[in-house]
């Protein structure tokens, strides 16, 4: 053997060895118990968050200082990730992913015990908190959201009033008529898709449950064709199609701009966007910065009624969880409990409290007046829906299919809406049959 052959073989062997290094073995099952004595618990914990804005403007530091009044020996450090889902996925291949983190969408529900420490049983936590079944595996809860969110239309009240509409539309047709009136009587863009930012389109999936007022809507996705006649997603997607098809959306969706859309909505240049309760405060801030009335920002449910009442789904925002590899699980648990129960984070963000006995936020007063029925979706089939979604590459929680839908509606893509939705349904149901559980 000459030298070059030996070299090549050695390098090859080294590569093979490297290639075999898969992922690490995993710890399995651990509990993050709440500390008995707040003054004794100590350690430095790292809290991961998506709220870059709150870390930068010092708001998170204020929360930490408040937290230290009860837990003086715990030092809290924050890491804000701008591209959370992508970054955390890579970090979670190691053991170093903070002490408290937000449960990313990529982790399969059954894998929760391998990554996170349990916060307690569902039986016990379910008495106090909403949304526990979203993070429950085998009766144990692995995450806790600091605030609930509800999808809906953020709209400019003044513009809608100028168009002569004061009552919320109760059917998709009435809604379309409303947008048409806005187009005819005002200068505003009736509806803004935020096509280029991508994720705002994804929130159209959250119409699921609101249309038919069915808490079992997620289970239906896992067991049937999501785009069957009269199904929630079909009603929602048809409305979006009609809005774009009839020219009620922005002229060039491909170059739309999310950051700009906030002040423009506040000023009345844009009338409506389908987002969620979490957006209200951002739009009000934008209104204040633009020097217009923040009270013009309104929020309305999906235009559909069952037995004469509107329906809206309430779900958790990102859930906070304790890293199973954390060395300060007690301190981490203390942070989650404090942040959920006592920080006031939900009120600061005009959000729905995760506590069962807390009142609704002020901005949702109109919902109470109108008697909107709030439901929580049963998420026991949530893991399966995610599995089917990824396997089939339909992507109900990804922007692509709605971008295709908008392209279809504005004629940049050939085909009919019926064929498009039927195609999605076929992909979905075929995969559903192949994915056994």
Partner 1 sequence: MPPAPTPAHLTEKAASAAVASAPRHAAPAPAPRRARTWRLVTPWLFLLAPLALLITFTYAPIANMVAYSFTDWDGVSPELHYTGVENYTEIFTREDLFQVFFVSGYYLVASAIQIVAALYFATILSFDVRLRNFFKGVLFFPSLVNGVAIAFVFLYFFQDGGTFDTVLGLFGYHTDHAWLGTPASANVSLAGVSVWRYLGMNFVLFLGAIQSIPGELYEASALDGANRWHQFRHIILPGIKPVLTLTVILSVSGSLSAFEIPYIMTGGATGTETFVIQTVKLAFQFNKTGLASAAAVVLLLIILLVTWVQRRLVPDERVDLV
User: Which residues of this chain interact with partner 1, rule CB under 8 A?
Assistant: 11, 14-16, 18-26, 85-86, 89, 92-93, 106-108, 111, 114, 195-196, 198, 251-252, 254-255, 257, 390-391, 393, 395, 398-400, 403-404, 407, 410, 412-413
CB of 120 to partner 1, least distance (A): 24
Q: How far is the CB of 90 from partner 1 (least distance, A)?
A: 8
Minimum distance from CB of 83 to partner 1 (Å)? 10
Closest CA to 59 of 80, 73, 88: 80
Among candidate residues 204, 215, 205, the one with its CA nearest the CA of residue 311: 215
- Closer to partner 1 by CB, 152 or 263: give it: 263
Minimum distance, C-beta of residue 201 to partner 1, in the bound complex (Å) = 10
- Min separation Cβ 286 and partner 1, Å: 20
Which residues contact residue 148 at a Cβ distance below 8 angstroms, ignoring those fewer than 6 apart? Answer: 130, 131, 314, 315, 316, 317, 346, 351, 352, 353, 354
For the CB of residue 12, give the shortest distance to partner 1 in the complex, in Å.
Answer: 9
> Shortest gap between Cβ of 137 and partner 1 (angstroms)?
14
Q: Could you tell me the strand order of the sheet in which 116-117 lies?
A: 74-80, 43-49, 100-102, 320-323, 116-117
Dist. CA 404–CA 208, nearest whole Å: 19
CA dist 405 and 398 (Å) reads 13
Q: Which is nearer to partner 1, 83 or 166 (CB)?
A: 83
Is-contact 317 148, C-beta < 8 A? yes
Identity of the residue, 1 or 16, whose beta carbon is nearer to partner 1 in the bound complex: 16
* Residue 294 or 423 having the CB closest to partner 1: 423
Q: Which two tokens stand for residue 327?
A: 């060395």
Instruction: Pick the closer one to partner 1 by CB: 24 or 69.
Output: 24
Closer CB to partner 1, 214 or 407, in the complex = 407
Q: Give whichever of 105 and 359 is closer to partner 1, judged by the CB atom.
A: 105
Nearest approach in angstroms of CB 114 to partner 1 is: 6
**Closest Cα partner for 332 from 80, 51, 66, 116?**
116
Q: At what angle do helices 232-245 and 417-434 cross, to 10 degrees?
A: 150
CB of residue 159 to partner 1, shortest distance in Å: 20
Choice between 26 and 70, CB closer to partner 1: 26
Beta strand residue intervals within 305-387, DSSP E: 305-306, 309-313, 315-316, 320-323, 373-375
- As a whole number of angstroms, the longest Cα–Cα distance in the chain is 89
Residue 90: CB atoms within 10 Å: 9
Helix axes 329-341, 59-70, angle to 10 degrees: 110
Here the tokens at position 308 are: 């004469």
Buried-state track 357-383, b at ≥16 Cβ within 10 A, e below 16? eeeebebbeebeeeebbbbbbbbebbb
Residue 85 or 368: the one with the smaller Cβ distance to partner 1 is 85
Smallest gap from Cβ 428 to partner 1, in A, equals 14
In 3D space, the residue among 207, 209, 137, 141 whose CA is nearest the CA of residue 375 turns out to be 209
Report the residue number, 295 or 393, with the smaller CB distance to partner 1. Answer: 393
Q: Coil, helix or strand for 419?
A: helix
Distance CA 426, CA 433 (A): 11
State the minimum distance, in angstroms, from the CB of residue 383 to partner 1. Answer: 13
For residue 262 the two structure tokens come to: 């906030």
With respect to partner 1, which residue has the nearer C-beta, 105 or 164? Answer: 105
């Amino acid at each position: 053997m000459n030298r070059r052959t030996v070299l090549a073989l050695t390098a090859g062997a080294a590569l093979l060895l490297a290639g075999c290094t898969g992922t690490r073995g995993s710890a399995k099952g651990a509990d993050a118990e709440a500390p008995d004595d707040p003054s004794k618990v100590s350690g430095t914990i790292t809290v991961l968050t998506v709220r870059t804005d709150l870390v930068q403007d010092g708001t998170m530091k204020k929360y930490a200082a408040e937290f230290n009044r009860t837990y003086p020996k715990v030092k809290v450090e924050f890491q804000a990730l701008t591209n959370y889902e992508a970054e955390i996925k890579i970090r979670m291949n190691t053991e170093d992913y903070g002490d408290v983190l937000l449960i990313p969408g990529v982790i399969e529900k059954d894998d929760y015990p391998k990554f996170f420490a349990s916060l307690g049983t569902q039986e016990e936590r379910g008495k106090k908190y909403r949304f526990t079944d979203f993070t429950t595996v085998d009766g144990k809860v692995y995450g806790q959201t600091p605030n609930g969110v509800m999808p809906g239309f953020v709209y400019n009240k003044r513009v809608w009033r100028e168009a002569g509409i004061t009552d919320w539309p109760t059917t998709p047709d009435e809604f379309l008529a409303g947008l048409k009136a806005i187009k005819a009587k005002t200068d505003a863009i009736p509806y803004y898709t935020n096509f280029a930012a991508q994720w705002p389109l994804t929130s159209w999936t959250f119409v699921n449950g609101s249309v038919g007022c069915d808490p079992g809507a997620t289970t239906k996705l896992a067991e049937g064709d999501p785009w069957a006649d009269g199904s929630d997603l079909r009603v929602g997607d048809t409305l979006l199609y009609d809005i774009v098809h009839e020219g009620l959306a922005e002229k060039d969706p491909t170059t739309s701009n999310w950051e700009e859309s906030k002040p423009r909505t506040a000023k009345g240049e844009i009338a409506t966007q389908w987002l969620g309760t979490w957006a209200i405060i951002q739009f009000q801030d934008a209104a204040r910065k633009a020097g217009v009335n923040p009270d013009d920002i309104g929020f309305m449910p999906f235009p559909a009624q069952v037995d004469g009442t509107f329906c809206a789904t309430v779900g958790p925002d990102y859930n906070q969880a304790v890293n199973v590899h954390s060395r300060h699980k007690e301190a981490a648990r203390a942070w989650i409990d404090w942040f959920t129960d006592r920080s006031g984070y939900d009120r600061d963000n005009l959000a729905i409290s995760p506590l069962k006995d807390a009142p609704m936020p002020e901005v949702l007063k109109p919902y109470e007046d109108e008697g909107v029925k709030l439901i929580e979706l049963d998420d026991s089939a949530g893991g399966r829906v995610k599995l089917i979604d990824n396997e089939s590459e339909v992507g109900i929680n990804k922007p692509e299919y709605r971008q295709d839908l908008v392209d279809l509606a504005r004629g940049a893509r050939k085909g009919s809406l019926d064929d498009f939705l039927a195609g999605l349904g076929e992909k979905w149901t075929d995969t559903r049959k192949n994915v056994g559980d």
